[in-house]
Structure 1
Amino acid sequence: MFLSIKNIPKVNWSSNESLNFKPKFSTSFFLIFGLTIFGLGEGLLILSTTGNSPWSVLAEGISLNSNLSIGAATFVVSVGVLFLWIFLKQKPGLGTIFNIIVIAAMIDFTLNYFQPPSSLFIKYLLAVLSVILVGFGSGIYLVANLGPGPRDGLMTGLTKTTNLPIALVRAFLEITVVIIGWYLGGTVGVGTLIFAFGIGPCVALGLFLVGKIFN
């Protein structure tokens, strides 16, 4: 069962080293493809207006209180989180850099070129689809093994520094950014809950499918 998966699979296009700055073409292609799917999913969840993912709640809140688009705010948040890596002795990889750029760009692309649905049923269907896309995109980009995204690196860095369980650290981060984003005006709703409870199984499914398809 995909829910029991504990390790990120290695396939023929996975990088052997996460700090590889000269990966083969196939590794780079799947990294960018996975991040594009991830960013599309994040954008569609915002477009559904049912509630954003925790970090998009924060980005939307910042956007509403500045001249930044949600994608640009996502970029700024990602760079800010990456800055915290210095104190946690984390090292960014090529995947970290592309994570910041591609996801932010895809969120703005999605919001600019797609129209929000009018039907309530379609809105929630879109919310579910978006979480599946984020999970599948995560599976592809993680298998590329070119470094974690800024938020994942913050999570693992804090876990090593505090020696607290990873689940507790992740929950603390997600709850903190939701509260700050909600205070700034970001959208919190059922879609946020769908993401919170659905993203774990969807990432596991993404990893499972990528491992099965390419092995």
Structure 2
Amino acid sequence: MRAGPRATSRSRAGAGRAARLGSGLVLYAASIALLVHPQLGSMPWDVLGQGMARVSGWTFGTATIVISLVVLVCWVPLRQRPGVGTIANVLVIGALVDPFLALAAMLPELPLAARGAMVVLGIVLNAVATALYVGARLGPGPRDGLMTGLVARTGWPVRLVRGGIEVVVVAAGWALGGTVGIGTLAYALAIGPLVHLLLPRLTAPADG
């Protein structure tokens, strides 16, 4: 029995959302490597990942997965529910970030200008990646869900909640030996406006 036009349309839409999710998560892992490798400051949660990797002896990817799982546990009292995109976020990024970092480590020693360019590219790529995986509408990432859950439970503004979380995360990561620098500040200032610009353009249609 052949599927009707409506079922075929839904199947194609679902495949399109899965493609958005998958490509977004791969690009996200690549963007982490672009920001971590230059050692000019990492994204807030990656500062914590670097610190945990340093004190535990884990790889950065393993530390990233462990942090994501701990954050998911924090979803329970906030009554947040993970989607398939949430689980994929943990597994795909955690599995790919170490290989991407290994590729970056093969580069020759770079001058400061080239390292700065890597940071800029990493921020832009991260914004594209975020818009893709959020726009797939298959479930928020662990950190995004923590933020939205706290906003829903406290009624506090998104900016206050996100800013508070990131200050705590950066401080903890720095204390453990993570890298904080101009890249961390640039990311904090640029990522919100960039995602705001890109998200409407990369979000899957509502009927998908």
TM-score, structure 2 normalization:
0.87
Q: Which aligned runs of 4 or more in structure 1 are off by greater than 2 angstroms?
A: 23-26, 208-212
1:163 aligns with 2:155: yes
1:142 aligns with 2:160: no
1:45 aligns with 2:30: no
1:145 shift after superposition: 0.2
Partners of 1:45 and 1:187 in 2: CA distance:
10
Q: Return 198-207 or 90-99, whichever deviates more.
A: 198-207
1:38 shift after superposition: 1.2
What secondary structure sits across from 2:56 in the alignment?
A: coil
Unaligned 5+ runs, structure 1: 1-15, 17-22
Aligned position for 2:102: 112
- Preserved CA contact (<8 Å) 1:135 1:205: no
Partners of 2:200 and 2:156 in 1: CA distance:
27
Partners of 1:197 and 1:47 in 2: CA distance:
20
Partners of 2:95 and 2:186 in 1: CA distance:
24
Which one of 180, 184, 187 corresponds to residue 176 of structure 2?
A: 184
> Could you list the per-position Cα deviations for residues 104-149 of structure 1 after superposition, in whole angstroms to 9, with x for gaps in the alignment?
2222111112235521000011001000000001111111100100
- Preserved CA contact (<8 Å) 1:137 1:206: no
Aligned position for 1:36: 26
What secondary structure sits across from 2:37 in the alignment?
A: helix
Aligned position for 2:4: none
1:209 shift after superposition: 3.8
1:96 shift after superposition: 0.4
1:174 aligns with 2:157: no
Which has the greater radius of gyration?
A: 2
Aligned residues: 191
Partners of 2:22 and 2:127 in 1: CA distance:
15
Aligned position for 1:57: 47
Unaligned 5+ runs, structure 2: 1-9
**Structure 2 residue identity aligned to 1:198:** A
Give the fraction of aligned pairs with identical amino acids, expressed as a percent: 41
Choose between structure 1 and 2: higher helix proportion.
2
1:56 shift after superposition: 0.2
- Preserved CA contact (<8 Å) 2:35 2:42: yes
1:208 shift after superposition: 4.1
What secondary structure sits across from 1:65 in the alignment?
A: helix
1:85 aligns with 2:75: yes
Partners of 2:54 and 2:199 in 1: CA distance:
35
Partners of 1:147 and 1:211 in 2: CA distance:
13
1:206 aligns with 2:193: no
Aligned position for 1:71: 61
